[in-house]
Amino acid sequence: MVSGMDQSLYDAFAKVSEDNQSKVAIYFLGKPLTYHDVRAMSDSLAHNLEEMGVSGRIAIMAGNSPQFVISLLAINSMGLEAALLRPGESPEAYDCQYVIASDYMMNYQEFNFRDMFLIRDEDLAPYGTSLKYYFREYLGERRDLSSRPGVHKLSDLIFDRYGQYDRDRSPDDTFIVKKTRKMESPVLIRNKDIMSAIADLSAYLDGFRKNMLISSSLYHMSTLQFLFTALINAGTVNLVPDYMDGQTSMKLAGRLESNMVVGNSHLYRQIVEKKIGIPKTIRFLFMIGEDFAPEFMDRFRSATGRTIKVGFDMTESCGAVTISPLDSEYDGSIGKPLPNVKIRITDRSGKDVQPGEMGFIEVSPGRFMGAESQYYNTGDLGYIDAGGGLHLERTRRMIINGSLIDPEPIEAAVNKASGVNDIAIGMRYEGGLPVLVAYVVTEDVNGIKRFFESRFPPYLRPQKYIAVKKIPRSPAGKIIRDQIIEIHGGDQQKASAEAN
């Protein structure tokens, strides 16, 4: 069980690092980084950022990599705030002058910054590795940003082996900043909030080895909750890019003897459709904050003989609050509350509804600043069954592979492409999982597919491309998404190009 919750995340990790310096903390694509390595790199980065005068809030726009973890620890050690940006968000909206970003995530948008620290994932991958082998068709063009003013290679700042970065840090310091569509102001997550979430998950996993393969995006607080639960408990994280092919992910899980998988629907879809074997070392499979239909769980169980533990994570903001019990099969719910978490269902006036009745899901206090003394209304509808399991009503929000997709920046970028007269991004279900669909007014659907593959990161690429004659819009010019999905929801392959 994790101890010392009244401290910053960096201080908790530093203590574990002191006691486990030679133990592997993170494998990335199979390459080991010890606890000493991760701490030394985060200390070096913190030192160099301070020498460069970096202050205030720092935006992170990055895929799964050790540099993401190292950057978070460095920022936390400096007592600064890390703004985790979802696809399409601008650092300027968070008042960030400094950005840490993966190069392949910068293809489709432009924004202003004072300094950018560029992550090249291969810098901490196995020596001689080409990421194109691991990403295969998922890795598009990578812009050369190194010549732009204010752009620095992150790798130049993490290898100084500088001594421990010494600074006063408080459990009450804001650590992570995120925005949701439900709240006008950003969500401020403090050190004590993330440490509390780690304690809750540690209690849930108590008694089990915490060697996790993680392919779910580190952008999500629930994924970070799992990652740091492993590290604060001196476990090992087998980290892979969030869009790595399922065959390679499962091979790495078996070779490194991971006993848990924290995955996304992309991984589990591939396991079913490509008949990928799950290593015998894997005891538990987790999928948190994903949108799915019960039929997918039936397909997965039929194909693999295994059950996925699912959970509710408050739309990417504050970590998992419910997860399926470890000793149970899938029962149609999205889990029961974690230790020290309480869930209630209320009507519009805020009064508790009867058991089994649909209402608004509210979560017990203490998950982020401003929610210390009252329940937080998530805005999601659901009910609690007789066994205490939470059931969520499916929404029309575009949650694909755990990411809440904002379609408007995608549409704005694609409308500038040659051959595109108009485009709308939508979502529909196939095989029990949601897929992103592009409805395009064009004579060259395959050309639009190639444009997405070259300019957009994998999680923003549609799985279906459907040529249409017209995009329905309101008098104000807004896309009427319900109408286009209703009209074309049943379209078959003859009008589409599929991204396999």
CA dist 339 and 343 (Å) reads 11
Residue 111 has pLDDT above 80, yes or no: no
Q: Averaged over 297-322, what is the pLDDT?
A: 87
Inter-residue contact 233 to 210 (CB < 8 Å): yes
Q: Any residues with CB less than 8 A from the CB of 115 and at least 6 apart, and which? A: 52, 54, 97, 98, 99, 150, 151, 152
Q: Is the dihedral of CA 282, 284, 285, 288 positive or negative?
A: negative
CA distances from 331 to 5, 24, 208, 264, 309 (A): 33, 36, 23, 19, 10
CA dist 11 and 262 (Å) reads 25
Structure tokens at 338: 């974690």
Query: How is residue 218 annotated by DSSP?
Result: T
CA dist 214 and 212 (Å) reads 6
Q: Of 367 and 46, which is predicted with more confidence? A: 46
Inter-residue contact 421 to 473 (CB < 8 Å): no
Range with the largest mean pLDDT of 65-74, 136-145, 425-434, 466-475: 65-74
Q: Which amino acid is at 441?
A: V
What's the pLDDT band for 164 if we cut at 50, 70, 90? low
CA dist 38 and 18 (Å) reads 12
CA distances from 302 to 309, 391, 459 (A): 16, 22, 27
Model-level pTM? 0.85
What are the start-end ranges of the E strands in 257-395?
Answer: 260-262, 284-288, 308-312, 322-323, 336-337, 343-346, 359-363, 376-384, 390-392
Inter-residue contact 363 to 382 (CB < 8 Å): no
Instruction: Give the per-residue pLDDT at 370.
Output: 53
CA dist 248 and 140 (Å) reads 19
174-178 and 81-84 beta bridge pairing: parallel
Instruction: Give the per-residue pLDDT at 176.
Output: 85
pLDDT tens sequence across 222-233: 999 999 999 999
> 190 pairs with which residues across the strands?
174
Instruction: Give the per-residue pLDDT at 491.
Output: 44
31-34 and 343-346 beta bridge pairing: unpaired
Residue 500 has pLDDT above 50, yes or no: no
> 117 pairs with which residues across the strands?
100, 152
> 348 pairs with which residues across the strands?
none
Residue 495 has pLDDT above 60, yes or no: no
What's the pLDDT band for 303 if we cut at 50, 70, 90? very high
Query: How is residue 437 annotated by DSSP?
Result: E
CA dist 386 and 279 (Å) reads 35
Residue 499 has pLDDT above 50, yes or no: no
Average pLDDT over the chain reads 84
Structure tokens at 248: 């390679």
Q: Which amino acid is at 307?
A: T
Q: Which amino acid is at 159?
A: F
CA 60 to centroid of chain Cα atoms: 12
Among 102, 131, 118, smallest CA distance to 31 is for 131
Instruction: Give the per-residue pLDDT at 402.
Output: 62
Q: Is the dihedral of CA 375, 403, 209, 7 positive or negative?
A: negative
Residue 147 has pLDDT above 90, yes or no: no
Structure tokens at 194: 């993330």
CA dist 275 and 282 (Å) reads 16
Phi and psi (nearest 5°) for 228? -75, -20
CA dist 310 and 322 (Å) reads 8
What's the pLDDT band for 389 if we cut at 50, 70, 90? very high
CA dist 498 and 463 (Å) reads 6
- Count of alpha carbons within 13 angstroms of residue 231, beta-carbon side: 34
| One-character DSSP codes across 456-477 | S-GGGS-SEEEE-S---B-TTS
CA dist 258 and 226 (Å) reads 14
